[in-house]
Structure 1
Amino acid sequence: MPQISLADLNAAGKADFVAALANVVEHSPWTAEKLAEQRPFAGIVQLHTALMAAIQSAEPDVQLALIRAHPDLANKTQRAAGLTAESADEQNSAGLDRLSDAEYAAFERVNNAYREKFGFPYIVCVRRHTRDSILHDFETRLRNIAKTETRRAIEEIGRISALRLDQLVIAEDRLKVHGRLSTHVLDNHAGKPAPGIALELVELAKLGEDRVIARAATNADGRTDQPLIGGRPLPIGRYELKFSIGKYYAERGVQTPDPPFLDEIPLRFAISEPEGHYHVPLLVTPWSYATYRGS
């Protein structure tokens, strides 16, 4: 999706403006037409606020049509027929294009139950979730009434559209749609940061395979050069950070048993705030370690 500056959007003809924003809300270019009439926008936050106001002020039948324009999640038939590029990227980001048989069965069950109860597809901003958290959210929301789910669907469309605008529009201000996950290793045995420690971030799954999200090594400051997750939401879910400690101390000539008491250290933690900052440090010696949620 080519990016466009907010200044160019403000100056564009109506047809070009609508074409640029046509897919910000799934199969609903009327939302872009409404926005075209309200220019100029001072920032992307104002643009998104106007978009949500247009959706929330629409007639109930128009809102329902907007909700129904969205695809089911992990639906093989719909994927074969072709999703929009935006929906495909979003579903793929959560691994919905490579589910286990058990996960496909679980998604099919909850999709059918949700449609049968509410008459429209379940909508969630999948970039804020893992496979496990989507299934958990499905089950939780199945207990709601239709009025509540209509409101929830529009809220999720708001989150989806904010992320799509963030990827599309270049502006001086920013939407608060990104989180950050970082780490820092301190060698308490040497009393300084620990460089050269290989680490791996894994997304844990109940029904399918765990996914490696990032691999990195600590730098001279004991940190990774880039956040483990950054520039996007932190998907809600359970994770494991694995640190290769045994090799680090062996390379520094520290006397340890063979095999070492601590070789690979796994830290398991959960993320519940997609737009938050999670800092998961490791304080380590050859015989002990500790962690906490930092900032």
Structure 2
Amino acid sequence: MAQISLADLNAADKASFVAALANVVEYSPWIAEKLAGQRPFAGINQLHSALMAAIQSAEPDVQLALIRAHPDLANKTQRAAGLTAESTDEQNSAGLDRLSEAEYAAFERVNNAYRDKFGFPYIVCVRRHTRDSVLRDFETRLRNIAKTETRRAIEEIGRISALRLDQLVVADDKLKVHGRLSTHVLDNHAGKPAAGIPVELVELASLGESRVIARAITNADGRTDQPLIGGRPLPIGRYELKFSVAKYYAERNVPLSDPPFLDEIPLRFAISEPESHYHVPLLVTPWSYSTYRGS
């Protein structure tokens, strides 16, 4: 996605402005047309607030058409026919392009149940969710009434459009759409940070295969050079961090049992706040370990 500065958006003619923002909300360039006359925008937060005000002030039938313009999630037929580039990237980011047969069946069931009940597609900002989390959210929202789901759909469109604007528009201010997951390893046996420990982050799944999200090696500070997840929301879901500690201690001539009492240490945890910072450290000796949620 080619980026554009907010200054250039403010200075653009109406047609260029509308073209630049046309895909921020799925198949709804009328929103950008409404915003064109409200320029200049002081920041990207003001731009997004104006976008949401345009949606929320629209007539109910216009809002419904907007919701219905969105695709189902993990729908094989719709994917074959072609989604927008933005929807494709978003669904792929959550792994919806590589579901197991059990996951496809689960998505088909809840998609159909949701459409049958409400008459429009289920909308969620998938960049904020894992596959398991989307399915749980589906089941929860199926219990709502249509008025509640219309409101929820518009809220989710707001989250989707905020992330699309964040990727598209360069401005001095920032939208609060990103989270961060970090770790560090403290060698309590030596009393110092543990450098050189392989770390692997895995997204856990109930119906399909778990998938590796990140791999890294701890540096001299016992941390990874980059966040395990950064520059995007932290998808709601269950995760496992794996730390390979036996090799680390063996290379430092620390006496170990044979086989080592602790080899690869798995830490299982969950994320529920996509825009927050989760710090999941490991405090370790050859015979013990502990963790906590830091900041």
Q: TM-score range by the shorter chain?
A: over 0.9
C-alpha distance in structure 2 between counterparts of 1:12 and 1:279, whole Å = 42
Deviations 1:207-228, CA, capped at 9 Å, x for gaps: 0000100000000000000000
Matched, 1:271 2:280: no
Structure 1 stretches of 4+ with a deviation exceeding 6 A read: none
C-alpha distance in structure 2 between counterparts of 1:87 and 1:251, whole Å = 47
C-alpha distance in structure 1 between counterparts of 2:156 and 2:235, whole Å = 14
For the residue of structure 2 that corresponds to 1:58, the secondary structure is coil
C-alpha distance in structure 2 between counterparts of 1:261 and 1:62, whole Å = 63
C-alpha distance in structure 1 between counterparts of 2:4 and 2:237, whole Å = 33
For the residue of structure 1 that corresponds to 2:238, the secondary structure is strand
Q: Which residue in 2 is equivalent to 1:131?
A: 131
Q: Which residue in 1 is equivalent to 2:35?
A: 35
Counterpart amino acid of 2:211? R
C-alpha distance in structure 2 between counterparts of 1:169 and 1:259, whole Å = 54
Deviations 1:155-197, CA, capped at 9 Å, x for gaps: 0000000000000000000000000000010000000000000
Deviations 1:28-69, CA, capped at 9 Å, x for gaps: 000000110100000000000000000000000000000000
1:222-261 paired onto structure 2 within 5 Å: 222-261=222-261
Q: Which residue in 2 is equivalent to 1:165?
A: 165
Q: CA deviation at 1:258?
A: 1.1
Q: Which residue in 1 is equivalent to 2:212?
A: 212
For the residue of structure 1 that corresponds to 2:223, the secondary structure is coil
Counterpart amino acid of 1:126? V
Deviations 1:72-109, CA, capped at 9 Å, x for gaps: 00000000000000000000000000000000000000
Deviations 1:12-38, CA, capped at 9 Å, x for gaps: 000000000000000000000011010
C-alpha distance in structure 1 between counterparts of 2:120 and 2:244, whole Å = 48
TM-score normalised to structure 2 length: 1.00
C-alpha distance in structure 2 between counterparts of 1:273 and 1:206, whole Å = 20
For the residue of structure 2 that corresponds to 1:249, the secondary structure is helix
For the residue of structure 2 that corresponds to 1:239, the secondary structure is strand
For the residue of structure 2 that corresponds to 1:240, the secondary structure is strand
C-alpha distance in structure 2 between counterparts of 1:8 and 1:122, whole Å = 35
Question: Could you tell me the percent identity over the aligned residues?
Answer: 90
C-alpha distance in structure 2 between counterparts of 1:117 and 1:217, whole Å = 49
Q: Which residue in 1 is equivalent to 2:292?
A: 292
Counterpart amino acid of 2:127? R
TM-score normalised to structure 1 length: 1.00
Gaps of 5+ in 1: none
1:15-54 paired onto structure 2 within 5 Å: 15-54=15-54
For the residue of structure 1 that corresponds to 2:71, the secondary structure is coil
Matched, 1:66 2:51: no
Counterpart amino acid of 1:211? R
C-alpha distance in structure 2 between counterparts of 1:192 and 1:144, whole Å = 52
For the residue of structure 1 that corresponds to 2:33, the secondary structure is helix
Q: Which residue in 2 is equivalent to 1:111?
A: 111
Q: CA deviation at 1:131?
A: 0.2
For the residue of structure 2 that corresponds to 1:16, the secondary structure is helix
Counterpart amino acid of 1:119? G
Matched, 1:191 2:204: no
Counterpart amino acid of 1:147? K
Matched, 1:77 2:101: no
C-alpha distance in structure 1 between counterparts of 2:235 and 2:90, whole Å = 12
C-alpha distance in structure 2 between counterparts of 1:141 and 1:127, whole Å = 18
Gaps of 5+ in 2: none
C-alpha distance in structure 2 between counterparts of 1:64 and 1:38, whole Å = 24
C-alpha distance in structure 2 between counterparts of 1:37 and 1:97, whole Å = 39
C-alpha distance in structure 2 between counterparts of 1:55 and 1:252, whole Å = 61
Q: Calculate the aligned-residue CA RMSD, in Å.
A: 0.2
Aligned length: 295
Q: Which residue in 1 is equivalent to 2:95?
A: 95
